[in-house]
Amino acid sequence: MVKKHPGIKDARLNFAASKIIVVGNISVKEIEKIGAFEGIKVAREGQENQIETRLWVKYRQALLPAISLILIIVAFVIRWVGGALEIPTILFIIAAIFGGWGNFKKGIPSLLRLNFNMNTLMTVAVAGALAIGYWEEAAVVAFLFGVSEFLEGYTMEKARQSIRGLMDIAPKTAVVVRNGEEINLPVEEIQVGDIMIVKPGEKIAMDGLVVKGSTSVNQAAITGESIPADKVEGDEVYAGSLNQSGSIEVKVTKLVQDTTIAKIIAMVEEAQEQRAPSQAFVDRFAKYYTPTVLLLAIGIALVPPLLWGASWTIYIYKALALLIVACPCALVVSTPVAIVSAIGNAARNGVLIKGGLHLENAGSLKAIAFDKTGTLTQGEPVVTDIIAFGEISEEDVLSLAAGVEKLSEHPLAVAIVKHAVDKGIPLADAHGFRAITGKGAQAVVDGKTYLIGNPRLLDETGIDLSSIMEKIAQVQSEGKTCMLLGTNRQVLGVIAVADQIREKSISAVLSLKKSGVAKVIMLTGDNEATAKAIAGKLDIDYQAELLPEDKVSAVKKLRETYKYIGMVGDGINDAPALATATVGIAMGGAGTDTAMETADIVLMADDLSKLPFTVKLSRDALKVIKQNIAFSILIKVIATFLVFPGWLTLWLAIFADMGASILVTLNGIRLLRIKS
């Protein structure tokens, strides 16, 4: 109806998030006016607290069936004690109106628009029962449907709360320094560049950089990490995370609508809007199923009385029972509630799943390919071995190497300097630094020239390396990079540097194999020796020395063999391979816009242990969806066959329909309880 309003280009309903997205010119009051008959209340996003909900409106869905039940009990008691027959009849009619009020308000307009949904069918069934004098049946059916609507609404609300919980994570105000004064401002008024004061125990209101102080921050709400992260000057912090220990000053880097938590919420809501393949099947099924059942009910009501003179009352009753039991409510709700629950649970655990399609695909994965650098490994080289030759000690080798390299910005140089600092070893006082492109560097310490670099650098200097080549080959066979330290005459030592495997990579790979993923493979641009060493430690297959286009070809071949393949990367240089895979999975999406936009699933923390959880959750969601669809159809088929011998009463029909709806909803909500 909003779509039909003048000046509206488009309108989209996100049922899971209780939102309507409107493109065009319309006021909140006009939307409320359109939805007035259904009692719909609307507010602009972020102003939900402005919706005035009267106590009666808030609890009406529970109160109306309660009143209906009281009236039904009173009517049965009066009939049992032998009171006037008219009084129970009147009470049953009033009970039917109270119990079915919410349904009538939706069903009557739908009937007028010839939109035969479950509310329409139920309205026709109750009205028909009253028309043929089945007063108590009409009252009980209306009451049971009212209870069904209340329970469905309550359980759906539980699923929606998983998203609302995300919205309430970040505070609505923050203390900001302006003109030398500390003032408390709504987050909407805070600008990029403002300095926030965040005290211990307070939540951080905006994304930003720490400019003063140090602390530990609980980022579980954003990244799903259970261990607090230490933050010092220059580190990034996220809105919604909890400052645990020290007082810090944070320079705001993003407006409230651009924060990481805002993007998470937006993506989760968009994900819930997207229809999964099973949901599309259900919608297609219901589209043809409901009119077919309606025609069958009309046939049952008319054909026997007209052709064979059968009782109109009996066959109209059978037709009404068929209408009730045929309502596809359980079938229609079976998939969305499971998807909403699974996506909400994943978001709370630091995993963004961008839609029902990706959720179902993740549950079907048969093979998973990993990028190496920054995914299976930490992405930063670290010193692993120091070997000294002759009379010099390992500490002196490290001191001299770090002294030379402190003037270099090369990643391997940075790793050596960091290792020396971490070990508390003083850096040699070097000067006259000169970088030698592609080979290494040199500098002077105490009047003597020292060289550090790859074996080729010292070999070209004229130093005989034959005596240490076996040691160099052994280090390189382990996937490590060899750096030699020496003078113009001799080699003093070997420093081995390598990109370390992430702490959780081995357990994550093992969990994936145990869960039934048939193929786990590493695709890397690194050299054969390094790839072999890393893959050996993880006990997985590998392909090395791949260009980005080679990774795409490898993923395509895997898809041909396994059909459903996931690709895990950092979301930046692996974008083509992520897009080619059935499911692209990006690591460390917190604060990384590219990762959040590129992949189908985003692991917000650099934590591979979330991947087995995601696969398990997706598989459980697939099971629940299949269980719900199968159960809903089976109940309908059994109940429909009970109509023909006359074994299906109206109240039994509503029990079958209501029971199926509640059971599939509760089954779907179980997905909220799966732990990471």
Distance CA 278, CA 262 (A): 29
What number of other Cβ atoms are within 10 A of residue 49's Cβ?
A: 8
What number of other Cβ atoms are within 10 A of residue 167's Cβ?
A: 17
| 87 contacts 75 by C-beta, under 8 angstroms | yes
SS (H, E, C) 19-60: EEEEEECCCHHHHHHHCHHHCCCCCCCCCHHHCCCCHHHHHH
Q: How far is CA 304 from CA 134, 319, 644, in A?
A: 20, 11, 12
SS (H, E, C) 508-544: HHHHHHHCCCCEEEEECCCCHHHHHHHHHHHCCEEEC
Q: DSSP letter string over 571-587?
A: SSTTHHHHHHSSEEEEE
Q: Which helix (H) or strand (E) holds 445?
A: strand 440-445
Residue with tokens 């599939």: 664
Indicate if 385 belongs to the active site: no
| 652 contacts 125 by C-beta, under 8 angstroms | no
SS3 category, 226: coil
> For residue 603, which phi and psi values (nearest 5 degrees)?
-90, 105
Nearest C-alpha neighbor of 498 from the set 476, 520, 513, 515: 476
DSSP label at residue 444: E
| 375 contacts 542 by C-beta, under 8 angstroms | no
Those residues with Cβ within 8 angstroms of residue 214's Cβ, 6 or more apart along the chain or in another chain = 230, 231, 232, 233, 246, 248
The overall longest dimension of the chain from CA atoms, in Å, is 120
Q: What angle do CA 660, 666, 670 make, to 5 degrees?
A: 140
Q: End-to-end distance of the chain based on CA atoms, in angstroms?
A: 42
> For residue 599, which phi and psi values (nearest 5 degrees)?
-90, 165
Those residues with Cβ within 8 angstroms of residue 211's Cβ, 6 or more apart along the chain or in another chain = 195, 233, 249, 250, 251
Q: How far is CA 406 from CA 122, 403, 420, 487, 586, in A?
A: 79, 6, 10, 18, 34
Four-point Cα dihedral 353, 356, 360, 365, nearest 10: -30
Alpha helices, DSSP H only, in 229-326?
A: 260-273, 277-308, 312-326
Taking each helix axis as running N to C, give the angle between helix 277-308 and helix 329-348, from 0 to 180 degrees, rounded to the nearest 10. 160
Query: Which residue in the list 207, 371, 570, 574 is annotated as catalytic?
Result: 371
Those residues with Cβ within 8 angstroms of residue 542's Cβ, 6 or more apart along the chain or in another chain = 521, 522, 523, 524, 531, 532, 534, 535
> For residue 175, which phi and psi values (nearest 5 degrees)?
-90, 120
Written as one letter, the residue type at 592 is T
What number of other Cβ atoms are within 10 A of residue 56's Cβ?
A: 8
Nearest C-alpha neighbor of 485 from the set 399, 421, 547: 399
SS3 category, 602: strand
Distance CA 554, CA 562 (A): 12
Annotated catalytic residues are 371
